[in-house]
Structures are given as structure tokens and as C-alpha cells.
């Protein structure tokens, strides 16, 4: 292996980062595996230990861990400019694709053939979300205490409509306490090692936070000054800025909360359209949380004044993407020099462990929400925020496609792209015969 391949020049980092950004299908698991193969196994730019330490570090942060891992690798190889290049190229290809699909959706959503395709896509997405629950549960629920946390999290959300941030913060607080007094409950082994004997990089981190926060806030300042607090772009920016801070556990973990707010509180789109958006995000490269761009586009597209619908939609999509992903660069650049110390932070690891367990319950709640929206035409409120299906409104076409998709992705372990394509075709065919 040559020295150049072990430490690439900046142009080579750009080329490989663009390749990863265009091929990063399959959600965070597939994206993390792709970067490992490209950067650790084939090119040797990062060692196995460095990669695993960085991955653990990214799991501590809110936001898409795969993109943050790409930012860290770029930072490690070429500093700030490397992190910016790797992180942006990880997002831009998928952002452009889902923007084009959002524009198509805004124009064609009410056409019969388009709705027929999305009947199948939504049913397949239901199977993919169930697969995510099973996969994460296998990794995260290693002790009875962590299983209880997952169940409590699910019940709090599904039965009592508890706020998502409260569930995450509560789980983190309990995990912090358990790590201090009973680490065995979480599967932790006593106290972590001593921190490294090196100066703490406070100055670097403070500068990174200040510059990152200013960049993050700049578009919102412009929206406030030009359009005011009552405009849809301000509400979109504020909501997704808040979401970026609590996005622990990946996109699936916050989708139910996002759907609850975007559908029920803000009325930017319907529950069925929210499910359609996740279907679009599943078919594109890049982080799954890119579905936020779809929501931002439709929200502004439908309340465009003083712009045209297309211009407003593009502004909504751009603003949403910025406030969703800009914080990822802030977190990584500010905290990357602390990675070795964070690896030894026992209480922080305990908090994260129980948050991860609670996220299993959060994603299970998302599965239940999607199942109700996809498989039944009518729901009736029971009490609080709980809705139960009207059994006679069951859609047998969606049920059949969901079952076949679950068999394909869970039992046969097929890639999600052919499954989604087959489900779309199945939705169209079944719609023609029924």
C-alpha cells in the first residue's frame, strides 16, 4: 500500500467522498458498512480502531451517525476543509434526488397512477421499519433492565402520547444514574479508564461552537428579518432546528414525533403523505433523515405567499436541509478533539446505553403508527392521543404487499431498493384489478 493511499491528497478525498455519497443507499447500517469497506479495508486511510472509536463517538451525538462519521473521517484526514468536503458530499447527492422527487410529488400526488405506486411503497416501508426494530433490539436490549426501558418507552408514546424529547431525556437521566450506582443493569463493566494526559482543547471547541452556531442561525435570521415570525418558513426552520438537537437514535426514532407535529400540530401534510415521504427517502442515497426536506418542501409549497409555490417549496427544502445538517458539522468539529476522553466517560456511556434501549420502543411506536396509517383507511379516537383502527376498513392490498416485503427484507435479507421497486409495481398492479 502506497503512502498516498494511506493519507490521500485533498482531490482524492473529494473523489472518494463523492462516490460514497452517490452509493450510500440502505440506511445507516449500509452507509457505515460502505465507508468501512472503502476507507478502512480497501484504502487504509483510517485504521480499524480509529473507525470503531469514531463510530462510538458519533453515536453519542444527535443527528445521522453515518454522516457525522463521514465528517469525522474528512476532519481526521484534512482538517476542517476535509470535514466540510466529506460531510457535504455525503448529503448533496441524496438531497438533489429527493428534492426532484418532492417536486414531482407536489405536482402529481393526486394522480391515480401515482397514488397506486405509493400504495406499494408505503407497505414496503412498513416492513423496513419493522426490520429496523428487530435489528436494533438485537443489539440494544442485552439486559432485562434495558428491555424494560424499551417497553416503557413504547407504552409512554403509544398509549399516552408522551413527548418524544421527554422520553429521550428521561431515559438518558435514568441511564446516567444507573451507570453511577448499578452499571451491571446496563451491561457496563465498572468504572472506565482514566482520561488521556493531554491538554483539554477548550479554545478549539469554543471557536467551533461559535462559528458553527452563527452559520446554523444565519438563514433563520434572514427569514425573521424579511418575512417575520408568522411565515411558514420561520415555523419550518424553528421546528427542524429543534428536531436536530433531539435526533438521537437515527431517523426512525424521531419520525413518529415529526409526523405528530407536522401532521397534527402544523397541518403541513397528511399522515398518508408523511408515509409517502419516508418511502421517497428510503429510495435515495444519503441519510434517511433527509425526509425532513420533503416535509419542508410541501409545507412551503402549500403556503407560498409572497412567492410562487415552486420558489417557496425550493426555499422550504433548502432551509430544512440546512438547519437539519448544519448542526452535524458543529457537533463533530467541536467535539472531535475530545473523542478519547468521551470514550472513557462511564456516566455518558450509561446515559447513551439506556437512550439506545428506549429508542427501540420509539421505533416500535413508529411501526405501530405506520401500520395503522398504511393498513387501514379509517381510525377512531379512543382516549387521549390513541387511535384504533376500524377493522372493516382494512386494505388487503397493502397487507399483502407488506407481508411479502417483510418476508423479503427480514427472512431473505434482500436489499431495500429492489423490494421497494417490486412493491411499487405490485401496488400499481393490484390497484388495476380491485
111-151 confidence digits (pLDDT tens): 777 778 888 988 988 888 888 888 878 878 989 999 999 99
State whether 177 and 64 are in the same domain. Answer: no
> What is the predicted pLDDT for the residue at 190?
59
State whether 170 and 252 are in the same domain. Answer: yes
For residues 275-311, b (16+ Cβ closer than 10 Å) or e, as one string? bbbbbbbbbbbbbbbbbbbbbbbbbbbbbbeebeeee
Residue 290 domain-assigned?
yes
State whether 87 and 131 are in the same domain. Answer: no
Residue 231 domain-assigned?
no
Q: Report helix angle 202-227 to 309-335, nearest 10.
A: 170
Residue 204 domain-assigned?
no
State whether 181 and 295 are in the same domain. Answer: yes
Measure the CA angle with vertex 171, ends 293 and 189; round to 5°. Answer: 115
Last residue of a domain, one of 44, 63, 93: 93
Mean pLDDT over residues 54-78, rounded? 87
Q: What is the CA radius of gyration of the chain?
A: 22
| Domain region containing 275 | 112-189+248-323+340-432
> What is the predicted pLDDT for the residue at 338?
81
Mean pLDDT over residues 272-288, rounded? 83
State whether 126 and 57 are in the same domain. Answer: no
Residue 206 domain-assigned?
no
Q: Is the pLDDT of residue 3 over 50?
A: no
State whether 26 and 163 are in the same domain. Answer: no
Percent of the chain with pLDDT over 90: 43
> What is the predicted pLDDT for the residue at 106?
85
State whether 21 and 82 are in the same domain. Answer: yes
Q: How many domains does the chain have?
A: 2
Q: Is the pLDDT of residue 433 over 60?
A: yes
> What is the predicted pLDDT for the residue at 305?
92
Residue 56 domain-assigned?
yes
State whether 306 and 414 are in the same domain. Answer: yes
Last residue of a domain, one of 65, 93, 121: 93
State whether 273 and 148 are in the same domain. Answer: yes
Measure the CA angle with vertex 267, ends 416 and 265; round to 5°. Answer: 100
* DSSP one-letter string for 348-386: HHHHHHHHHHHHHHHHHHHHHHHHHHHHBS-EEEEETTE
State whether 171 and 269 are in the same domain. Answer: yes
A 10 A CB-CB count for 190 gives 7
pTM, whole model, 2 decimals? 0.80
Residue 232 domain-assigned?
no
The residues that bridge with 376 in the sheet, in sequence order, are: 394
> What is the predicted pLDDT for the residue at 65?
84
Q: What is the pLDDT of residues 333-391, one digit of tens each?
A: 998 888 766 666 778 888 878 888 888 888 888 888 889 888 998 888 887 667 889 99
Residue 300 domain-assigned?
yes
In sequence order, the 6+-apart residues with CB closer than 8 A to the CB of 205 are 334, 335, 337, 338
Residue 243 domain-assigned?
no
Cell numbers found for residue 397: 392490498
More confident residue, 369 or 296: 296
Last residue of a domain, one of 47, 63, 93: 93
Mean pLDDT over residues 17-34, rounded? 80
State whether 149 and 293 are in the same domain. Answer: yes
State whether 89 and 119 are in the same domain. Answer: no
Mean pLDDT over residues 85-103, rounded? 93
Q: If you average pLDDT over every residue of the chain, what do you get?
A: 86
Q: Is the pLDDT of residue 1 over 60?
A: no
> What is the predicted pLDDT for the residue at 96?
94
> What is the predicted pLDDT for the residue at 257?
79
Amino acid at each position: 500500500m502506497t503512502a498516498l493511499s494511506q493519507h490521500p491528497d485533498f482531490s482524492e478525498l473529494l473523489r472518494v467522498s463523492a462516490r460514497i455519497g452517490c452509493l450510500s443507499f440502505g440506511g445507516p447500517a449500509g452507509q457505515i458498512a460502505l465507508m468501512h469497506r472503502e476507507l478502512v479495508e480497501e484504502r487504509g486511510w483510517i485504521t480499524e480502531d480509529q473507525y470503531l472509536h469514531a463510530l462510538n463517538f458519533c453515536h453519542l451525538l444527535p443527528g445521522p451517525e453515518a454522516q457525522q462519521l463521514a465528517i469525522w473521517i474528512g476532519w481526521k484526514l484534512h482538517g476542517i476543509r476535509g470535514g466540510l468536503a466529506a460531510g457535504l458530499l455525503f448529503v448533496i447527492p441524496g438531497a438533489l434526488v429527493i428534492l426532484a422527487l418532492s417536486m414531482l410529488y407536489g405536482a402529481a400526488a393526486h394522480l391515480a397512477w401515482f397514488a397506486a405506486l405509493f400504495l406499494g411503497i408505503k407497505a414496503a416501508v412498513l416492513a423496513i421499519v419493522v426490520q429496523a426494530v428487530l435489528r436494533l433490539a438485537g443489539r440494544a436490549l442485552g439486559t432485562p433492565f434495558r428491555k424494560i426501558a424499551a417497553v416503557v418507552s413504547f407504552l409512554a408514546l403509544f398509549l399516552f402520547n408522551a413527548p418524544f424529547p421527554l422520553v429521550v431525556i428521561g431515559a438518558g437521566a435514568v441511564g446516567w444514574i444507573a451507570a453511577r450506582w448499578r452499571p451491571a443493569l446496563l451491561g457496563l463493566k465498572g468504572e472506565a479508564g482514566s482520561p488521556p494526559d493531554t491538554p483539554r482543547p477548550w479554545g478549539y471547541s469554543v471557536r467551533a461552537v461559535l462559528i458553527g452556531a452563527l452559520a446554523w442561525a444565519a438563514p433563520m435570521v434572514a427569514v425573521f428579518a424579511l418575512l417575520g415570525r408568522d411565515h411558514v418558513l420561520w415555523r419550518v426552520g424553528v421546528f427542524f432546528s429543534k428536531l436536530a438537537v433531539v435526533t438521537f437514535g437515527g431517523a426512525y426514532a424521531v419520525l413518529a414525533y415529526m409526523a405528530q407535529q407536522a401532521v397534527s400540530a402544523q397541518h403541513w401534510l397528511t399522515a398518508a403523505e408523511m408515509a409517502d415521504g419516508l418511502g421517497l427517502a428510503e429510495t435515495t442515497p444519503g441519510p434517511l433523515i433527509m425526509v425532513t426536506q420533503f416535509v419542508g418542501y410541501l409545507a412551503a409549497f402549500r403556503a407560498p405567499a409572497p412567492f410562487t409555490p415552486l420558489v417557496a417549496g425550493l426555499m422550504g427544502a433548502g432551509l430544512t436541509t440546512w438547519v437539519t445538517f448544519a448542526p452535524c458539522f458543529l457537533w463533530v468539529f467541536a467535539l472531535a478533539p475530545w473523542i478519547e476522553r468521551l470514550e472513557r466517560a462511564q456516566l455518558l456511556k450509561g446515559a447513551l446505553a439506556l437512550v439506545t434501549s428506549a429508542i427501540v420502543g420509539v421505533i416500535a411506536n413508529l411501526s405501530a403508527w405506520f401500520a395503522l396509517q398504511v393498513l387501514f383507511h379509517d381510525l377512531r379516537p379512543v382516549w387521549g392521543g390513541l387511535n384504533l383502527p376500524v377493522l372493516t376498513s382494512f386494505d388487503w392490498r397493502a397487507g399483502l404487499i407488506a407481508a411479502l416485503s417483510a418476508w423479503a427484507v427480514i427472512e431473505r435479507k434482500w436489499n431495500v431498493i429492489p423490494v421497494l421497486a417490486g412493491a411499487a409495481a405490485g401496488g400499481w398492479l393490484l390497484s388495476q384489478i380491485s
